[in-house]
Amino acid sequence: MLIVAGWLGYRELMGCVESPLPLTAPHPITVVAGSGRQQVLQLLQEQQWVKRPTALRWFWRFHPKLAQFKAGTYRVLPGMSLRGLLQQFQQGTVAQFSIRFVEGSRYQQWCQILNTAPYLQHTLLDQPAEAAAELLGLAHSHIEGWLFPDTYYYTAGTSDVELLRRAHQRMQEQLAAVWEKRHPQHPLKTPYELLILASIIEKETAVATERPTVASVFINRLRRGMRLQACPTVIYGLSAPYTGSLTYAMTRQAHRYNTYRVPGLPPTPIAMPGRAALEAAARPAETPYLYFVANQEGGHTFNHDFAAHRQATRNFQLSKPLVTR
């Protein structure tokens, strides 16, 4: 009789820990460092996942390994049992969070994303870009362009600076790789110049197949001593916020990013270029083109003759002021 009662009690105990938790959506839960059985039991009771504390205490007596807890934030999924959750605590299978930085974004936009990322330790709030550059040990005080846009994964408690260090390391690796494979007659002298050009290419077109051709236009202009006349550099250097319309007057403003007035490359990158833009800058297409203008298909029309370029510009009617190269 005692054996039967014990067996029935054990079955009831296992039913408590094997049943799915009452969840309809993923739910994060954090086990703080130094937590023991009583702290974890209290945590689970607060979530209303344990209604019979005695049953869980007995379970831990039968399974002492599942009473060992590693600190961290865990993601509890619908359908997961209490036993499965305790196994996560014991194995330290903490939740992974993701954060995405897109190609062509600027450091200010990265900060906005970082500042709203969940479970991230925020240390750069209200810090100027120069402070972040110093923390990363950059030779240049200008951080723009030095962070590789991608999806990064992190665990709770990771600092924003740690994510930036990883992005900076990735950019250094990517830049070094494409610099080694650059065209033998490339006019750019340093990897940093290539990074600057790649950032302009990234902002000039969203059409992947156009990037090598856009790169060829700028390379051809540099070889001839022509000004780049790149609209994104002008926009980057504006003292007032850009509202979406680039006017002729803006191209006449005196600042060091105005490639309509200043010859050569701007002094720094203007955005975070992706791998495709870096590769286009390193190995541009071989074309005679010196000009390009937007077309009605969402891409650009390229020309080597200025008269043909002017005609292509006239053919493309825009509702806002158009500045061409």
- Tens of pLDDT along 83-105? 999 999 999 999 999 999 999 99
**Alpha-helical regions (H) of the chain:** 2-18, 37-46, 53-62, 82-91, 107-115, 129-135, 160-180, 191-204, 211-224, 231-236, 275-282, 306-315
Decide if 161 is inside a domain: yes
Domain of 127 in residue numbering reads as 98-174
Tokens matching residue 52: 């019979």
Question: Does one domain contain both 163 and 211?
Answer: no
Last residue of a domain, one of 174, 191, 210: 174
Q: How many domains does the chain have?
A: 3
Question: Does residue 201 sit in the same domain as residue 170?
Answer: no
Residue 98 CA to residue 276 CA, distance in Å, equals 22
For residue 171, which of 208, 198, 134, 189 has the smallest C-alpha distance?
198
For residues 129 and 191, membership in a common domain is answered with no
Both 192 and 299 in one domain: the answer is yes
Same domain? For 262 and 240 the reply is yes
Tell me what pLDDT residue 11 has: 58
Out of 72, 91, 110, a domain closes at 91
Backbone angles phi, psi at 248, to 5 degrees: -60, -40
Mean pLDDT for 216-244 is: 91
d(CA 71, CA 90): 9
Position 24 in a domain:
yes
In a domain, 20, yes or no: yes
**Predicted confidence band of residue 302 (pLDDT cuts 50, 70, 90):** very high
Are 194 and 303 part of one and the same domain? yes
The model's pLDDT over 171-192, given as tens digits with 9 standing for 90+, comes to 999 999 999 999 988 999 999 9
Instruction: Say whether both 186 and 311 belong to one domain.
Output: yes
State the pLDDT at residue 249. 87
pLDDT bucket at 240, cuts 50 / 70 / 90: confident
Rounded Cα distance between 67 and 90, Å, is 7
Whole-angstrom CA distances from 62 to 44, 56, 57, 58 are 19, 10, 9, 7
Residue 149 inside a domain? The answer is yes
pLDDT at 15: 63
Residue 134 lies in a domain: yes
Alpha-carbon gap, residue 17 to 13, rounded angstroms: 7
Residue 168 falls inside a structural domain: yes
Find the helix or strand (DSSP H, E) in which 221 lies: helix 211-224
Q: Please check whether residue 116 lies inside any domain of the structure.
A: yes
As beta bridge partners, residue 33 has: none
Taking residues 28-37, report their average pLDDT. 94
pTM: 0.85
Share of the chain above pLDDT 90, in %: 70
Looking at the structure, tell me whether residues 197 and 218 fall in a common domain. Answer: yes
- Please, is 318 exposed, middle or buried when counting C-beta atoms within 10 Å of its C-beta (0-12, 13-18, 19+)? exposed
* Contact call for residues 202 and 271 (beta carbons, < 8 A): yes
Q: Pick from 91, 124, 154: which residue ends a domain?
A: 91
